[in-house]
Structure 1
Amino acid sequence: MNVFLWILQILLALVLLAAGGGKLAKPYERTAESMPWARRFSAGQVKTIAALEVIAGLGLVLPAATGVAVVLTPLAAVGTALIMVGAVVTHVQGKEWSQIGPGAVLLVIAVVIAWGRFGPYAW
């Protein structure tokens, strides 16, 4: 199970780093063109969401990999779950039905990681 959790952590971290990094690297206008939900938020809010995604992605792997402050790994998973709840709610409010599934899947993965790392498979 530990290996399975590591795989989930790395995969989720890669998704978060790619998503957050992409939003941070592009100007707000380009992000809003490709992601309709972003139009309902200010540029600062979108950049904050992106920064939180990057921080969560790093937090899912680095503390556990280095052995320093390993409690940050399950906390990053909880933070990711909260971000994904916000994503699902935002997509429901915007009637962006095709976008709900990916957010829901990432939410479930984050919850599994948090459960495993806070619970029976903690460091």
Structure 2
Amino acid sequence: MLLKLFLCFTLIPVIELYLLIKVGTVIGGFNTILLVILTGFLGAWFARIEGMNTMIKLKMNLQQGLMPAEELVDAVIIFIAGVVLLTPGLITDVFGLLLLWPVTRNKFKQMARKKFDEMQLQNNINITRFH
């Protein structure tokens, strides 16, 4: 877990800085800043649209008496995408936009569901060992 935290809080910002410097040398510093602002704006706009669509689906399911499980997962992923998009940088912006796009968001949901199922299976195995 410590390694994952190290990667998130140290390595990713260093890579972002390196990439921003490299892009800045190619397209210029001002254009690089504009690119980061543009991706942030597009991300905020897209997050708003996807969030509203998810809320509409959630409300419709609740009105029909259905459990809106998929919509709740979508809402969490859209929230995470918004948080990632707040971080200045190109890699985090691309990752945030991928989380917002429904096609890739569904792939992330499948991966998360698989990981959750593996963790649940592992916990069940550990619980049965102690009984």
TM-score over 0.5 (shorter chain): no
Larger of the two Rg values belongs to structure: 2
Shorter-chain TM band: 0.3 to 0.5
Higher helix share: 2
* TM-score normalized by the length of structure 1: 0.40
* TM-score normalized by the length of structure 2: 0.38
The answer to which structure, 1 or 2, has the higher relative contact order (CA under 8 A, 6+ apart) is 1
